[in-house]
Amino acid sequence: MTCDEAGELLDAFIDGELPGEQLLDVARHAGGCAVCDATVRKLSAVRHSLAGSLDAEAASLDLAGVWSAVSSGMAREDARRTSIRRWRAAPAWAAGLAMAAGAMLWLSTPPAHEVQRVAAARPRPNQTVIDRLDSDSARLELRRERKYGTTLIMVSAEGDGQ
Amino acid sequence: MADSDWELVQRTRAGRQEAFRELVERYQRRIAALALGMLRGREDALDVVQETFTKAYQNLERFKGDSSFYTWIYRIAFNLCVDHQRRETKEAQVPLEPDERGETIVLPQPDGVPQDQPFDRARDSQIAERLREAISELTPDHRAVILLREVDGLSYAEISEVLQCPKGTVMSRLHYARRQLQARLQGLL
């Protein structure tokens, strides 16, 4: 085995990820090669330093509050699941009732299409649009003044004066 | 004999919260080590530990047991770390200086070495400092590979499962990350 061949396998070698035969080949090569042996030692030293430093820092972290924070999150999740379950378990008649109430509400609303149609027509220059009339009994009268080109709109309700 | 992870998962699903507490206590420190390595800030690391287990509980029904519980939970933790980093990158106006990133890492003394050795401590803190810098310069993917391997001791197959990438990619990232760290520690090891 050459140094190049061994070099490609050194990481897997120190990680114990090589199959038996290859593991022995690399071990034999490194045993007789000062350069590869030094690389194995350096890689192992890096590993120990890294693991040691992070383990020590993780060990110094105060994790006492983790469970209480997690259990609060779990309680919220349980509450959410319960409300979803309740909603799904609602009887069919409740859904029917909700639909009927919606339909009633829709039917009891006076049609607004006329008002909308009038309002949708935008006045042209020198024109006006009556947006809505609140009274059903209102009378509308238009009086045109030909001389000046103006129009007078007279609106009156029952019993009212003009 | 301690219950297996799978038994604890099943008991949690049956509504036994103390079973999930056992899982939290079993893995919280390992997740903390990963989060510390990925994020550096102790508060951020603690947030990730808490979020990891909360998210695991929320998604426990989806865990089918095809993989081990700890590779599944590592995956959640890794994704949360990446999310944190993205948020930090967006929020950061000025890059942090190395000495602003947190407290100095204290290296454990090797067996048999007296505790009060100023030269050793200075050297160890220098190693820790350089390691910290070198890790922070790695991409999140390289960082995750080396932390999962060196700190958490996961196999290549398990790392590939956690990071959802082929085993060959794990090997090449590990090779690169180790050479980077090795170069940083030149003359100290």
Average pLDDT over every residue of A61-75:
90
CB contact under 8 Å between B46 and A57, yes or no, is no
pLDDT digits (tens, 9 = 90+) for A11-37: 999 999 998 888 999 999 998 999 999
Neighbours of B138 (CB within 10 A): 20
CB contact under 8 Å between B131 and A67, yes or no, is no
At A143, the pLDDT band (50, 70, 90 cuts) reads confident
Average pLDDT over every residue of A45-51:
85
Average pLDDT over every residue of B154-159:
94
pLDDT digits (tens, 9 = 90+) for A102-142: 888 887 776 654 544 445 556 666 666 666 666 666 677 77
What is the ipTM, given to two decimal places? 0.71
Dihedral, A43, A46, A51, A56 alpha carbons, nearest 10: 160
pLDDT of residue B176: 93
pLDDT of residue B123: 64
CB contact under 8 Å between B151 and A11, yes or no, is no
Of the partner residues B25, B46, B175, the one whose CB lies closest to the CB of residue A11: B175
pLDDT of residue A115: 47
Q: Are B73 and B52 in contact (CB under 8 A)?
A: yes
Q: Is residue B174 scored above 60 in pLDDT?
A: yes
Q: What residues contact A41, with CB distance under 8 A and at least 6 apart?
A: none
**Most confident among A87-96, B20-29, B85-94, B96-105 (mean pLDDT):** B20-29
Q: Is residue B103 scored above 60 in pLDDT?
A: no
Percent of chain B with pLDDT over 70: 80
Chain B residues whose beta carbon lies within 8 Å of the beta carbon of residue A45: 185, 189
pLDDT of residue B113: 41
Q: What pTM value is reported for the model?
A: 0.66
A40/chain B closest Cα distance in angstroms = 11
B94/chain A closest Cα distance in angstroms = 26
CB contact under 8 Å between A66 and B46, yes or no, is yes
Q: What residues contact A119, with CB distance under 8 A and at least 6 apart?
A: A129, A131, A132
Q: Which of A37-51, A71-85, B83-97, B158-172 has the lowest mean pLDDT?
A: B83-97
CB contact under 8 Å between B150 and A47, yes or no, is yes
Which residue of chain A is at minimal alpha-carbon distance from B175? A11
Of the partner residues B28, B131, B182, the one whose CB lies closest to the CB of residue A63: B28
Chain B residues whose beta carbon lies within 8 Å of the beta carbon of residue A55: 33, 108, 151
pLDDT of residue A139: 73
As a three-state string, the secondary structure of chain A is CCHHHHHHHHHHHHCCCCCHHHHHHHHHHHHHCHHHHHHHHHHHHHHHHHHHHHHHHHHHCCCCCHHHHHHHHHHHHHHHHHHHHHHHCCCHHHHHHHHHHHHHHHHHCCCCHHHHHHHHCCCCCCCCCCCCCCCCCCEEEEEEECCCCEEEEEEECCCCCC
Average pLDDT over every residue of A67-78:
90
Percent of chain A with pLDDT over 90: 15
Which residue of chain B is at minimal alpha-carbon distance from A41? B189
pLDDT digits (tens, 9 = 90+) for B18-74: 999 999 999 999 999 999 889 878 899 999 999 999 999 999 998 988 889 999 999
